[in-house]
Structure 1
Amino acid sequence: MRLSELIRMSMRTVLSSPLRTFLTMLGVIIGVSSVVTLVSIGQGTSEAIAKQYENMGTNLLVVTANGNGRATQLDYNDLMNFENFPEFKAIAPTMTKSGSNIKYDRTQEKYTVLGTNDRYLGIVKSDIDKGRNLAPADMEFRSNVAILGSEVAKTFFGTLDPVGEDINIDGVVFTVVGTLQTKGSNISGSSIDSTIIVPLESARRQFKLGQIRTTYVEAPTKDDIYKAQETMKQYLTYKFKSDTGFVLTNQDELLKARTEATNTLTNQLVAVALISLLVGGIGIMNIMLVTVSERTREIGIRKSIGAKRRNILLQFLVEAVVISGLGGLIGLLIGIGLSYALPYFSPKQTTKLSLDISLYAFLFSVLVGVIFGLYPANKASKLRPIDALRFD
């Protein structure tokens, strides 16, 4: 008997009891759809995390001083001297003042003010929308100039061009020299869109800020960031006479750690989903054993007119595979549909459909049919014609 004929016979048998067939396939449907959906969510999340880190730059090192007192203060000139080393491309020390009162005309809001230099925007991959960046002269002469994040500019000026206008920051007048393009939140949840950038020394003098707490370091390449990290660690350990007064945060290491954690969680969820496939396989074995019992006389008749053992084996095995294959196909379609639909219902959720994993999930469902259908098919093929014909 040809395989195509066996498949047609199996389809007729399966479709003759649609409800029973659907309930049998349910475990396989849930398993395959869960695997496809969970993997797409995991890969989408990993890709979103990678993009957020890429927006900050994976060749970025963040230096944070934790100690108090002059012995643990970072010196601006000392930090800038590191740009003479080949493993350092740009350095931007920063000072931050949160909750500053910003006034323009009759509008007043609270925003974060960041004091830094002209390298900062290049390091954090932010672009000027209108006007200009900070200039070395602004640092040298401690100019009261400011660059507005897109949210700040929209709050105070709407669609108007704010360049050249004066704003009041905690009682000090600053002239707007530029605005930033919208960037959105970074991996920590903060956003440069709601930040006002001023020269570091202007921030220190006007707002009585103490010391440099955070410094952004950019390396020429991703490989150089590890050299820069080691050089900076040696310098800070020598300066602070300890290796506990500072923290070095390597963006590339953070990206790898977050991606690994996401992949681990996804793999665990997929392992749970695969249990549904195994449960579905047990359901297929159960229903095939019942089918063999119900069709014992049919088996006896077929054997008595010349059907060989392999014909009976293949017939019931193909039926099991058809059930699992149809369940896998339905689960695959549901999983693909959910992968594309989730971002519409939850805009913050990103998904990325993996065709390879989807194919593997479907093939695994077919394999489940083979494994769990083999025993009932083998049992049917071993029935003696005389015993099968006597079965009541």
Structure 2
Amino acid sequence: MRTIELLAMALRTVTGNPMRSFLTMLGVIIGVSSVVTLVAIGRGSSDQIAKQYENMGTNQLVVNAGGTGRATQLDYNELMQLELFPEFQTVAPTISLNGANIKYDRTQDKYNVIGTNDRYLPLMKADLAEGRNIAEADLDFRNPVAILGSEVADKYFGNASPIGEDININGVVFTIVGKLKSKGSNTAGTSIDKAVIVPLVTAQRVFKLGQIRTTYIEASSSDQLAKAQDFVKRYLTNKFKSDTGFTIMNQEELMNARIAATSTMTNQLISVAAISLLVGGIGIMNIMLVTVSERTREIGIRKSIGAKRRNILFQFLVEAVVISGLGGLIGLILGIAASYVWPMLSPGQATKVSWDIGLYSFLFSVFVGMVFGLYPANKASKLRPIDALRTD
């Protein structure tokens, strides 16, 4: 019997009982569509992360320090001295006040406050929509001035200009001198759009904040990044009298770490989704065993008129492969569709359809059908004609 005839017979069997065929395919459909969708989300997230770091530049360091006592505290003036060395371009120390109560008129909400210097916004590639940046004079005189992220400004002022207005941050009045353009999430996964920027020394004094925890450093060039990183490590090791209590990461390391974390989580989810394919394969085997039982007399008639064992084997094996293949094809279509719909349901979340993974998932679904269809097909081929014909 030719392959075309076997495929035609298999399709007639599938379409003859569409509900049972669909339920048989369901596990394969769910498995393939889940794999395609999850890979698209994972690769889209990885591309987003890479783009964020590219926008930040590749010659930056992020220094995080922690500990108690003066020996493990970063000093602002000492950090700024790094700019005197040729390896360094910009240094922006920061301190944070999370969930500060911010009030204007009758509107009150909680936002993060970042205390820093005039280098922070250029280093973060954050542009002003209006107003000015923090100035050296603000740091020298501890001026209570603030720059609002775009979402903070929209919350309190809408389309009106906030420049010159006063806001209350944890009971302290600050004058707004700038408003930022919308930027989106930064490389740390937070958003400067939802933050308020104030002079570092002002934040330390009025909010009683302690040591500098995070410092952003821009090397003079990508070629100088390794030297700058080594310089900072030696400086902190000497200052802390230990090589612990601080971490130094460059942009590439941070990017790779976040992409690796995203890939690990995606792979774990894919492993779970792949179980659906195996469950679908078991479902196919069960239905094919039922089909063999229902068509035992048909098998006996075919054998009695000359059908060989291999003909019966191929007939039922092709039916199993057609069922799993159709399920894989439907799952592939649904997975691709879900990949394009997902960004609409989750604004800011990008996806990237992986056609190679889609093809592999479809081929794997066909393989699953072949493996799990082999036992029922082999059982059908071994039936003796005389016994099969006696079955009602």
Q: TM-score range by the shorter chain?
A: 0.7 to 0.9
Shift of 1:346: 4.7
Partner of 2:15: 15
Number of equivalences: 391
Match of 2:302 in 1: 302
The answer on whether the counterparts of 1:103 and 1:167 sit within 8 Å (CA) in structure 2 is: no
In 2, distance between residues paired with 1:282 and 1:56?
Answer: 50
Q: Distance in 2 between matches of 1:222 and 1:228?
A: 10
**Closer, same or farther in 2 for the Cα pair 1:29/1:98, shift >3 Å?**
closer
Give matches, 1:75-224, under 5 Å.
75-85=75-85, 87-96=87-96, 113-135=113-135, 146-155=146-155, 157-163=157-163, 165=164, 167=166, 176-186=176-186, 190-200=190-200, 212-219=212-219
The alpha-carbon distance between structure 1 residues 35 and 94, as it changes in their structure 2 partners (threshold 3 A), is closer
Residue 155 to residue 329, structure 1, CA distance change in 2 (3 Å):
closer
Amino acid of the structure 2 residue aligned with 1:326: L
Residues 251-304 of structure 1: CA deviation (Å, up to 9, x unaligned):
543433333233223222322322222232233223333333433443343344
- CA spacing shift, 1:267–1:131, aligned 2, 3 Å: same
The CA deviation string for residues 50-99 of structure 1, in whole angstroms up to 9 with x for no partner, is 55555655644332343455444434343233335554332112345567
Give the 3-state SS of the residue equivalent to 2:182 in structure 1.
Answer: coil
Residue 8 of structure 1 deviates from its aligned partner by: 1.2
- Shift of the 195–369 alpha-carbon distance from structure 1 to 2, 3 Å rule, reads closer
Secondary structure of 1:129 counterpart: strand
Q: 1:323 corresponds to which residue?
A: 323
Conserved? CA contact 1:321–1:370, under 8 Å: yes
Distance 1:112 1:12, change over 3 A: closer
Structure-2 separation of matches of 1:119 and 1:76: 13
Query: Percent identity, aligned pairs only?
Result: 70
Question: Could you tell me how far 1:323 is from its partner in structure 2?
Answer: 1.1
- Give the deviation of 1:123 after TM superposition: 1.7
The alignment yields a C-alpha RMSD, in angstroms, of 3.8
Alignment of 1:323-362 (within 5 A): 323-347=323-347, 351-362=351-362
- Look up the SS of the partner of 2:88 in the other structure: coil
Indicate conservation of the 8 Å contact 1:102/1:167, yes or no.
no
For residues 207 and 10 of structure 1, what CA distance do their matches in structure 2 show?
75
Match of residue 236 from structure 2: 236
Query: How far apart, in 1, do the equivalents of 2:38 and 2:376 lie?
Result: 32
1:347-377: CA deviation from partner (whole Å, max 9, x where unpaired): 4765443222222111111111222223333
Q: Distance in 1 between matches of 2:275 and 2:108?
A: 58
User: Relative to 1, partners in 2 of residues 1:39 and 1:299: Cα closer, same or farther, differing over 3 Å?
Assistant: same
Partners of 1:108 and 1:17 in 2: CA distance: 62
Deviation at 1:312, TM superposition (A): 3.0
TM-score for the superposition, normalised by structure 1: 0.80
Look up the equivalent residue of 2:323 and give its one-letter code. Answer: I
Q: Give the TM-score, by structure 2 length.
A: 0.80
Q: Separation in 2 of the partners of 1:391 and 1:223? A: 82
